Chains A and B, each alone.
Chain A
């Protein structure tokens, strides 16, 4: 078994101007998804990120304060899960509720450094 990170990238609800009902329906799906992983015993943790960011770029260390509205897409958070391989995580990621918004799940394996 390996540890993987599912990184959620895309638009924030607030920037898409979703209706309250739509948001609530999505919240339910998120709750349900979290519970499902929890009950399967594969969930290792996770974190949600706020929509504020400070970006520092390049040689000149140019600084910009941005919010999710200012960028094309933003990393919203991640879940850590335990699985056999990418295929298994891909299966888990089927329940991600926001594909229809054009949002993305990026699956990455957690590196384990082994000094031989």
Chain B
């Protein structure tokens, strides 16, 4: 077996096993559990070099199960809180937790834990990627383009918060559920976006992040309490985006905008899956931001070429989205959409409502769009001025190259 494949299997399995073991020993013993799982995989790695098992997944599950006793002893020796085990026969029930359906349940519990509103929003993603997805801190740091030290701190802080508020390892129910699902969807979408909009040149890392977000979202769809229409809409949105992931970067590793993407490279099966999910999402009339975002991407996908895009329809969806969740980024996009439609009055109406500082690191997008606007209305001087600000403020090299190319075209 190739190293990468083992790595991949371990990563996915680690999250599952940590979740199951947490169901047995509780969140207060998370560190001991993670150590034990890590150790199991190190041993597996060594033993597989000699001989690889027929069914690696089953092998790993068994190995984790064998660790139950070790963890039990270790918790005992550290005088930490043991789970409420009152009778030997209960070990039979523990054994049942390693069944596939129970593993899924445990994973869902861990997702809700990682996305708990008491956790700092920045800590949620790092903790989720570490604990559920089995990424190492180094991998998370490189995926999120953040220092490893920062990631370590975030994971540690998340663990402390969980202990401090004695967050329970459950799938929330009743009145609490809708709000908690909302928080989960938000985190999953953020993880997805880290992959999709990432500045990371490493395509594999980006795919891994998008794939993880989709895998975790699937758990929501499998559970009858969490498969609400917003969950389906988010999954549809991810499918539509993911369908275009390969087309976003050309062979020279350059970022391509929608206009220049080869639409033949879009993944048809993912688009089909997205459509099927979208049908599920609109079965009732509760529309979330994910419904509108998915509708927008679907509109782009429907167009056989960039020229064919139905900008009116897209603008309508954005207006709905903006009503539900007003952000400067939506205003900017609406301005850009109006530019596509050559509706300069509306474009300038939206531009005027934006304070570029509100866009923070993405303010270069505002200046880039404004530059386009001035080019269109033949004000070359203003176009150049805005483009220069965009180039000055952009951080990401790929995007910078893109803007400089644009400037050269404009100057010629």
Contact = CB atoms under 8 A, between A and B. Distances in A.
Interface string B90-118: 11110110000000000000000000000
Interface stretch (B62-70, B326-334, B387-395): B62-70
B342 interface: no
Interface stretch (A7-15, A57-65, A84-92): A7-15
A35 B95 CA distance: 9
A111 to B, nearest CB: 22
Contacts of B89: 8, 30, 48-49, 76-77
Contact of A31 (B62, B68, B87): B68
Interface in A16-72: 23-24, 26-32, 34-35, 38-39, 43, 45-49
A109 interface: no
A98 B88 contact: yes
Contacts of A29: 88
B76 interface: yes
Given A24-B76, A35-B65, A38-B65, A13 B87 contact: yes
A31 B92 contact: no
A27 B92 contact: no
Contacts of B88: 13, 26-27, 29-30, 97-98
Interface string B50-85: 000000000000100110110011001000001001
Given A28-B72, A46-B92, A39 B87 contact: no
A67 to B, nearest CB: 13
Nearest to B83: A27
A45 B96 contact: yes
Nearest to A39: B62
B87 A14 contact: yes
A34 B91 contact: yes
B307 interface: no
A34 B92 CA distance: 7
B84 to A, nearest CB: 11
Contacts of B91: 27, 30-31, 34, 48
Nearest to A12: B87
A74 to B, nearest CB: 10
B316 to A, nearest CB: 55
A48 B76 contact: no
B96 A27 contact: no
Interface string B221-238: 000000000000000000
21 contacts: A14-B86, A23-B86, A23-B87, A24-B72, A24-B76, A26-B88, A28-B72, A30-B88, A30-B91, A31-B91, A35-B66, A38-B62, A38-B65, A38-B95, A39-B62, A46-B96, A47-B93, A76-B89, A77-B92, A78-B92, A98-B88
Given A27-B72, A77-B92, A97-B88, 13 more contacts: A8-B89, A12-B87, A28-B73, A30-B90, A35-B68, A43-B95, A47-B96, A48-B87, A48-B91, A48-B92, A76-B89, A78-B92, A79-B92
